[in-house]
Chains A and B, each alone.
Chain A
């Protein structure tokens, strides 16, 4: 495969990544959120394989396999189990209406392109164009975290941010060194397990997975006696 073709392939994968991030934000049903999240994981693994092939970087194949297993299969499956056992597979319940969220998401994307474009000019890597998209995906994940009411959608937003960071690492720097990559994957796994543990504790204690109800138990400093 020629360099130009690979370049185009990586660019299309980056575009798909952005699309999936938008799709994740636009879902109304919990299960479709999960499906898109799994799709994002698979997309990441594919990107890693393409970049690994294009740059002849064998360490990246290992990260690709790890990503596929962890983010494409294990985490979505764990979340699916949680949703099923806690019977929350209904609506997503956004705090803002969808058209407004989408408009903000659009503005966020434009903003990322605006700040990152000067950086991309200095790089000579195969994948330099994807930095702006990775930044946009990080911000979209955060948007998802702040516009959702349920703890579980917050977590998916959190994991989507992690995915976007991983995409930034493979997409724009051809992958971080393997030691760091493994360390990060390990941390994400532990974090996901703790999240899972929390879901059950939260459910048991509050009888709800809504963040507002949970936070009302904390002592508010400006509350009047």
Chain B
């Protein structure tokens, strides 16, 4: 329990502390240290949860089980490596005069506040607080997206703010509807929003109200997941914000929104006893996969291109969670892990590449491998990994997903395969000329730190070759938890 408190409050206190550190270099170091503390304790916490098979803490306000403890560890890990990456990256931006000392302070402080919102969202047991924390994480990143104060970044942040604000308002309406039916079962108080109690009494909730509530929740949280057709904010927010922010948006924030959606789907399945919620998620998933795969071909900005790849993968995960079987659950969780690792790794590389080539335009980035082999190889291997080539973990999770789809809905494998092929073609078509060939003239040498990228890719490789026993057991535990309700619902 103490471990949990340390994990949750380190980022909050860290964020407040960073607001007071004036010197950017010290702030960057403190940021890394806070990330390391959070990650170390989150590992301990994860072990504790795994042994105890889930427990409530602090009077039932927080609930930890296999599903969220694993996401807490993942969030803390990517948060830590992003902090390590951001130190030289942001120093370069600072030296180049794109941000001033005050903006650096805002950046570091908001970065940790965002981490706090993420961890609060994952661990809270109250679906109302879950909504609040998702909004908190969103607000923190809005300020980060507009950090450069360029016209494009302000326009992107405005779009992000309005669209996600609207989405999240719809999710709140869905939550109110859940409370509307649950308050007649569990009484008029916090109990009626407590997830564990709702989960126990899901059968007593009114199926009709829960169906309408899920429509709102699906569109609301779906906006934050970046599902098509509500994805318009995502490429702009990723393209215009600082690269460490793109990395945590893609690698972490989208996960939290999907996590919230799956938690609520478990309740809806229990109440309705039909596969309706799952089918909605499958439909949104496939649509997102296709929209993203085709849009990817039309991009000219490297960060926007990879953000469409994020939409594609979030679509795949949503589809897998929608399938609802245990195997699909394992596939989705594994995919979530490797996508977070590989995609944030790619964004780190892209950030350095854009600094070295002094542009984000793909047509002007040329010959990375000659100019700086580390960046070139990092981008090539990262792209190969995210496109789903063996032996990386993305291949494994996609393979599992196809197996699960073949078992329950065989016809879906055709659109899935098609979407993946189109997306892969798009990725390779753009990345190949950027990596090979003659180095572009405007290239400058920059200080890079490729260590986080290599760690992320190595982990994705390990997950692809052989998933360690404890981790496999962990995935199975979590997937059983998610699938149990769905199976009870008769999917």
Contact = CB atoms under 8 A, between A and B. Distances in A.
The list of the 3 closest CB pairs from A to B, nearest first, reads A180-B128, A183-B132, A217-B151
B428 interface: no
B298 to A, nearest CB: 5
Contact of A173 (B135, B142, B180): B180
Nearest to B139: A190
Interface string B334-348: 000000000000000
Interface size of A as a range: 35 or more
A2 interface: no
A187 B155 contact: no
Contact of B155 (A158, A173, A214): A214
B190 interface: yes
B154 A214 contact: yes
Nearest to B150: A205
A154 interface: yes
Given A183-B128, A194-B142, A215-B159, A124 B184 contact: yes
Contacts of A177: 128, 189-190, 192-193
A112 B162 CA distance: 23
B128 A179 contact: yes
27 contacts: A122-B208, A122-B209, A142-B166, A154-B162, A158-B162, A158-B166, A168-B173, A172-B176, A173-B188, A174-B183, A174-B188, A176-B193, A177-B189, A180-B131, A183-B128, A183-B129, A184-B128, A198-B161, A205-B151, A206-B154, A214-B155, A218-B152, A218-B156, A219-B152, A219-B300, A219-B304, A221-B295
Instruction: Tell me which of A119, A194, A201, A221 has the highest count of chain B C-beta atoms within 10 A of its own C-beta.
Output: A221
B165 interface: yes
A119 B132 contact: no
A161 B166 contact: yes
Contact of A201 (B126, B131, B149): B149
Nearest to A217: B151
Given A158-B165, A191-B165, 7 more contacts: A119-B208, A122-B181, A123-B184, A177-B190, A179-B129, A218-B236, A221-B299
Interface string A181-195: 001101100110011
Interface in B170-226: 172-173, 176-177, 179-181, 183-184, 188-190, 192-193, 206, 208-209, 212
A190 B162 CA distance: 14
B234 to A, nearest CB: 12
A138 B179 CA distance: 17
Contacts of B176: 165, 168-169, 172-173, 176
